[in-house]
Amino acid sequence: MAQVVFVAVDLGAESGRVLAGKLGDGKFELEELHRFPNGPVRIGEHIYWDVLRLWTEVKNGLALAVQKYGSQVVSVGVDTWGVDYALLDSNDELVGNPYHYRDRRTEGMFEVAFQKVPRDEIYRRTGIQFMRLNTLYQLLATVVQKSPQLRIAKTFLMMPDLFHFWLSGEKVNEFTEATTTQFYDPRKGDWAKSMLRKLGIPTRILNCPIVPAGTVLGELRQHVADEVRATHQIKVVAPASHDTASAVAATPLSDENAVYISSGTWSLVGMEIREPIITDKSLAYNFTNEGGVYGTFRFLRNVTGMWLIAECRRIWAREGNEFTYDQLTQMAAEAQPFKCFVDPDDPRFLAPENMLDAIRSFCRDTNQPEPETVGEFVRCCLEGLALKYRWVIERLEELTGKTVSTIHIVGGGSQNWLLNQFTADATGKLVQAGPVEATATGNALVQAIALGYLGSHAELREVVRNSFPLRTFEPKPDERWQQAYERFCQFVK
């Protein structure tokens, strides 16, 4: 097969990238063409996404792909983080800047929501874990605060759907992203509109079809094609547009009992299942059923991930100490083990002004010594993450009735060899790390299936195994992990 190129636009919470996914003769290769920063923009009391700049960068990256690969470029697809959305008016123009999920307007929205719809009813309808940042509470905040946006809005699109609309002219809600809202009903296969009405959220804005990952939306709009200097037809494909769904799609799971950890700003710890698990116990453990590819669900729990270390690193840089992630990992490896550790999901870590102070506060409140050195802070976070992974995996085994065989860690966090080893040691499970670029790989290869260049999901995963090296970490017995875990379980809310 002659080489073809699928352009994967991968927008993350800290940076965005446009990559060329090159497929030929059963092998796949990724090439980064364009990278650009992303992050919140503060205006007054609120924080937003700079969506127009992101759109410009998407086009810049696509232009680079066309310039380099010409007619080999056959399609483009976008994945982003979950939960955030855009509203369009009757002219299909943006109604305000899309809010950032860490914006504080959702504070107190749990209490407001549960007065109108009981917590267990929301979970029974949606199967989605409760997080203050979920789209449901973002929209509810807009209602409570009497924002004029909802009066003007005609159409609701999640963030990747917005970019696909701007690329193709087609307005859809892609399934994997739609499920992160906490108002999609997986049993009914549609929006939970009656629940939204009870909350006062207008359902008229939910007027776009919900489509599965791998839907061909059409061709690049002519004015966009002109801007990027494409002289041939380029398809726009909605991949698994939630970044974790794309990452899981490309995870080379060893068997149905394997666990994946998509490790980045967040760590998504879960299993791939065929039917959602919505029970009293899954509610009690706050597990979620997010959409996957090809008839699957991602049964998982969100764990605050490398955000902890990224925020520490930002504070150190502000103080004049610039550290690479490799330097931080090495300092953590040399620091005192089991001095202290955090529960990464403690609410104080969601959006603190100073992560170092938040970690100190947690340690004080849990009667642990505070970390003092840079290495101790990083080790405190990494040990806490590994212990939380074990906690989640034990509950996965309980809820699914399966015994986990292997843990597959993918994404940027899979490069942290120390966390990988800690995870093996804390859980007693074999860990396989890689591919690092799972999200962009899944994005591109779902496009390949959509256009007929690959035949199935199984073939996609075989291509991944043949294309990327995987690193194995075997657990090293150490009774101190069990002692630490027993202490840790006392901290978990």
Residue numbers annotated as active site: 243
Q: What separation in angstroms does the CA of 390 have from each of 10, 397, 422, 430?
A: 29, 11, 10, 12
Contacts of 94 (CB under 8 A, 6+ apart): 51, 86, 87, 88
Q: Give the angle subtended at the CA of 282 by the CAs of 281 and 286, to the nearest 5°.
A: 120
DSSP-assigned letter for residue 337: T
Cα pseudo-dihedral 476, 482, 484, 489, rounded to 10: 130
Cα–Cα distance between 423 and 406 in angstroms, integer?
A: 11
Cα–Cα distance between 8 and 327 in angstroms, integer?
A: 30
Cα–Cα distance between 402 and 420 in angstroms, integer?
A: 22
